[in-house]
Homo-oligomer: A and B are copies of this chain.
Amino acid sequence: MSLNSYGHVFRVTTWGESHGPALGATVDGCPPGVRLAEADIQTWLDKRKPGQNKYTTQRREADEVEILSGVFEGRTTGTPIQLMIRNTDQRSKDYGDIAEKFRPGHADITYWQKYGIRDYRGGGRSSARETAARVAAGGVARAALAHVAPDVRITGYMVAMGDKDIDRARFDWDEIGRNPFWIPDAGSVELWADYLDALRKSGSSVGAMIEVTVRGCPPGIGAPVYGKLDTDLAAAMMSINAVKGVEIGEGMAAARLRGEENADEISMGPDGPVYSSNHSGGILGGISTGQDIVVRFAVKPTSSILTPRKTITKAGEAAEIITKGRHDPCVGIRAVPVAEAMAAAVVLDHILLDRAQTGGVRGPIG
């Protein structure tokens, strides 16, 4: 019942605080025989790493992962994999002010009320720094997917930031890795850069919308009724810091449609069923259809801004707070690799689960 864990069979528990000695992930349930080296995980951590460009926090962390267990001679052994990342740039002095005051929009006040104690340095456990552990665990999930379901490809990208939306007519998978916003739309990069520059200079911040697409997932993955693939994806995304909404396929817009508009008609293709559209986001009744799985979520704007905000102290006195630390004008950017990692873990988990449930038997069509 660990509340810091996710996954049924591929089970990840993250641990660590922003300014403690280290953070990491305990990964249990990874299949044996998966090729895995620290470099395989480091690749993904480097995508998330802060301080890479002017659009993300200037905190400098090496974010070097160590594998402490579960791998022998370059392969997983089926035993728990412990991933550790040392915190190197802790600069506690930056955070002195928040020991007494609660930052609006942060979990400072709720942690205090719940636990009667909190590690206030950099937000402690509630810091977005925790997501480094998720990305590391996601690296293991990716390696395992390459082993058990090599056709699966998981790609995250931003689709909106404040009032800017990507132009889906220009959607280009190859563009995603080329720009600092992970957007699939080369035509928007400059516009977004200017917008974010202005925000950063004014000490403000903005929200964002991220989409993750899972290509190549076979049909039949997932489960009714509570362990649905979409339920687990939604929970995974909602568990990421600052996320306030999650959509599958048509998402919230489905509320506006009529039955005729929303139905994905089915026909028979050479390799199995083919759908006329993908309003379902690749999932029906909690189980994958074989189409692309599409999940989208909204990240709220960073609560740490330079405009003073009203708050109270632990003593209950009125106060103002400006968060001067090193922060992201748009935390949504760094949520992209985090969301990919979570999606990888969920999809792998359900593929392993399906082996237990059905042994891979499939109802034949045609």
Scan A146-168; emit 1 where CB is below 8 A from any B CB, else 0: 00100000000000111100000
| Residue among A228, A354, A363 with the highest chain B CB neighbour number at 10 A | A363
Interface size on A, residues (CB 8 A): 160
Copies, count: 4
- The reply to whether A248 and B244 contact each other, CB–CB distance below 8 Å, is yes
- The reply to whether B207 and A288 contact each other, CB–CB distance below 8 Å, is no
- The reply to whether B15 and A29 contact each other, CB–CB distance below 8 Å, is no
Contacting residue for A207 out of B227, B230, B262, CB 8 A: B262
Q: Which residues from B are CB-within-8-Å of A258?
A: 162, 199, 204-207, 301
- The reply to whether A2 and B11 contact each other, CB–CB distance below 8 Å, is yes
Q: Which residues from B are CB-within-8-Å of A3?
A: 8, 28-29, 223-227, 353
Q: Is A309 an interface residue (CB 8 A)?
A: yes
Q: Is A251 an interface residue (CB 8 A)?
A: yes
- The reply to whether A298 and B255 contact each other, CB–CB distance below 8 Å, is yes
Q: Is A279 an interface residue (CB 8 A)?
A: yes
Scan A223-237; emit 1 where CB is below 8 A from any B CB, else 0: 111111011101100
- A118 and B77 in contact, given A109-B273, A355-B359 (Cβ under 8 angstroms): yes
A290 to B303 alpha-carbon distance, docked (Å): 19
Contacting residue for A254 out of B28, B234, B301, CB 8 A: B301
Q: Which of A287-334 contact B (CB under 8 A)?
A: 287-290, 298-305, 307, 309-312, 314-318, 332
- The reply to whether B69 and A16 contact each other, CB–CB distance below 8 Å, is yes
Scan A216-250; emit 1 where CB is below 8 A from any B CB, else 0: 00011111111110111011001101001111111
